[in-house]
């Protein structure tokens, strides 16, 4: 299993490196140093789940007389690391494509009210597993122009983070409001909060305020960088209101497409 996953990760790294190498011949957006840093960080992040999987497999190989049920904990660890790795690889590929200007974003009329409601419905179970109260107030008929899949990815990133960085028993409120010109999507939590110094840094690739907490929650440090790109691609804005220890609110502003 480790051999297969190892070769797949090496393949992915070669693929990403070749993307970035090709890119260096084109008008450069990432400096050479930043590319090297990105590859080094990506390799490190891929190595961590592999190491954990190997340790768990080593443990399992010493328990060959025990049943699978008796060893469920180690299997669960391996499963959760493969999930982290899958998410990491997905995000790395998205960013490699973004850097290489190879993302085809669609431009169509999107009903943000329906999309927000649908996305909330998908994530409500995840919140309830952490005993988090999850509420939404969504204005009707809010239309924007953009790519429905990317906008869904954006909403998922913000709600997923709100769940990850809110402790058991917390509260999350998703709201969609409008002015005549703008749509405002807000994801508010009463979780760990973000300090003023970290507010800009959290949009950088692989930056995590608390690496251990993020990893425990399955975080890979790329979500907000992708969110920032999606918002820029839709000519939108993002504002963060947060108090350390009290909670955070991420507010995305998008141009409305009035019918």
- When binding is defined by CB under 6 A, the residue of 134, 165, 184, 229 that contacts ligand ADP is 165
In the set 150, 208, 234, 256, which binds ligand ADP (CB under 6 A)?
208
Task: Please tell me whether residue 84 binds ligand ADP under the rule CB under 6 A.
Answer: no
- Using the minimum distance from each CB to ligand ADP, give the nearer residue, 74 or 187: 187
Residue 237 phi, psi (nearest 5): -130, 160
| 49 vs 191, beta carbon nearer ligand ADP | 191
* CB nearer to ligand ADP: pick between 100 and 217: 217
How many C-beta atoms lie closer than 10 Å to residue 90's C-beta? 13
Report the alpha-carbon distance of residue 36 to residue 40 in Å, rounded.
6
Rounded to a whole number of angstroms, the minimum distance from the CB of residue 123 to ligand ADP is 13
The three-class DSSP label of residue 100 is coil
Which one of 9, 116, 161, 178 is in contact with ligand ADP (CB under 6 A)?
161
Query: Hey, what are 212's tokens?
Result: 């251990």
| Nearest alpha-carbon partner for 167 in 120, 198, 210, 196 | 210
Q: How far apart are CA 176 and CA 183, in angstroms?
A: 7
Is 46 among the residues that bind ligand ADP (CB under 6 A)?
A: no
Q: Cα 256 from chain centroid?
A: 25
Count of residues interacting with ligand ADP (CB under 6 A)? 23
Rule CB under 6 A: say whether 52 interacts with ligand ADP.
Answer: no
What minimum distance in Å lies between the beta carbon of 182 and ligand ADP?
22
Residue 49 is a binding residue for ligand ADP (CB under 6 A): no
Q: Cβ distance 38 to 205 under 8 Å?
A: yes
CA separation, residue 183 to residues 39, 112, 113 (Å): 37, 9, 10
Q: Which residues bind ligand ADP (CB under 6 A)?
A: 157, 161-162, 164-165, 189, 191-194, 202, 208-210, 214, 219-225, 248
């Amino acid at each position: 299993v480790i051999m297969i996953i190892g070769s797949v990760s090496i393949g992915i790294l070669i693929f990403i490196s070749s993307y970035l190498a090709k890119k260096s011949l084109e008008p450069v957006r990432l400096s050479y140093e930043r590319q090297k840093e990105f590859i080094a960080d990506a390799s490190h992040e891929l190595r961590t789940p592999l190491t954990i999987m190997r340790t768990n497999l080593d443990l399992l190989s010493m328990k060959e007389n025990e049943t699978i049920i008796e060893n469920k904990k180690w299997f669960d660890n391996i499963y959760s690391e493969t999930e982290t790795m899958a998410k990491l690889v997905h995000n790395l590929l998205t960013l490699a494509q973004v850097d290489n200007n190879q993302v085809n974003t669609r431009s169509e009329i999107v009903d943000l009210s329906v999309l927000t409601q649908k996305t909330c419905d998908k994530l409500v179970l995840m919140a309830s597993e952490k005993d988090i109260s999850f509420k939404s107030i969504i204005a009707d008929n809010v239309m924007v122009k953009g790519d429905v899949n990317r906008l869904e990815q954006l909403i998922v990133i913000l709600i997923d983070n709100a769940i990850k960085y809110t402790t058991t028993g917390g509260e999350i409120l998703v709201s969609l409001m409008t002015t005549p010109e703008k749509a405002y999507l807000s994801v508010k939590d009463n979780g760990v909060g973000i300090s003023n110094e970290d507010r800009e840094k959290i949009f950088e690739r692989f930056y995590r305020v608390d690496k251990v907490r993020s990893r425990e929650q399955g975080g890979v440090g790329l979500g907000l960088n992708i969110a920032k790109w999606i918002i820029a691609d839709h000519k939108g804005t993002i504002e963060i209101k947060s108090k350390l220890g009290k909670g955070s609110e991420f507010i995305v502003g998008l141009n409305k497409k009035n019918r």
